[in-house]
Amino acid sequence: MTAIEIRKISLDDLVPLQEISRQTFQETFAAYNSPENMKSYLKEALSIEQLTAELEDENSAFYFALQNEQVIGYLKINFGAAQTELKESQALEIERIYVSKEFHGKNVGQLLYDKAIEIAKQKGSEYIWLGVWEKNSRAIRFYEKNGFVEFDKHLFKLGDDEQTDLMMKLKLNR
């Protein structure tokens, strides 16, 4: 397999970011949710306007995973006020790690995860946290394998459906 490059995303990458965001969200969740709720989420949460605002937030960062210049996955991390819940200065949130289905099991998610750990350590974060849908057993196993433990739950609204996310945390050795 050709080497995978991890590269920071800029506003110039807005269209490929929207494409990979919508593709991977659809691949991951379409089988478990109504077409109406999926359409609503993709239209609102992954619109050009919303992604532009997220890219322009200095407390968020996005990274592509690329193979032969093809976008095959991405990472979104948040610090400080950009975090979706805890908003603690000593924490970093992994808001999204998504990989194209054809690249599952090929270490792409691990490389994106490793990038998040690297940045958290550079920023002096004490821990990393995230929310993962309680029915996404593949992702839960991935995070548990990497040392995350569940510490709470929160609601995630997908269209008109309220779903439960497990909140997981990893304390970093600094």
Considering the entire predicted model, what is its pTM?
A: 0.94
62 CB burial (10 A radius; 0-12, 13-18, 19+): buried
Characterise 6 by phi-psi region: left (phi > 0), alpha (psi -120 to 50), beta (else): beta
pLDDT per residue as tens digits for the range 104-163:
999 999 999 999 999 999 999 999 999 999 999 999 999 999 999 999 999 999 999 999
Segment 5-32 shows an average pLDDT of 97
Q: What per-residue confidence (pLDDT) applies to 174?
A: 59
Spatial distance between the Cα atoms of 58 and 67, rounded to a whole number of angstroms: 27
% pLDDT > 70, the chain: 99
Q: What per-residue confidence (pLDDT) applies to 129?
A: 97
pLDDT per residue as tens digits for the range 45-65:
999 999 999 999 999 999 999
Q: How many CB atoms are located within 10 Å of the residue 60 CB?
A: 19
Residue length, the chain? Answer: 174
Kindly report the average pLDDT of the chain as a whole number: 95
Q: What per-residue confidence (pLDDT) applies to 1?
A: 60
Positions annotated as catalytic residues are: 143
Q: What per-residue confidence (pLDDT) applies to 100?
A: 97
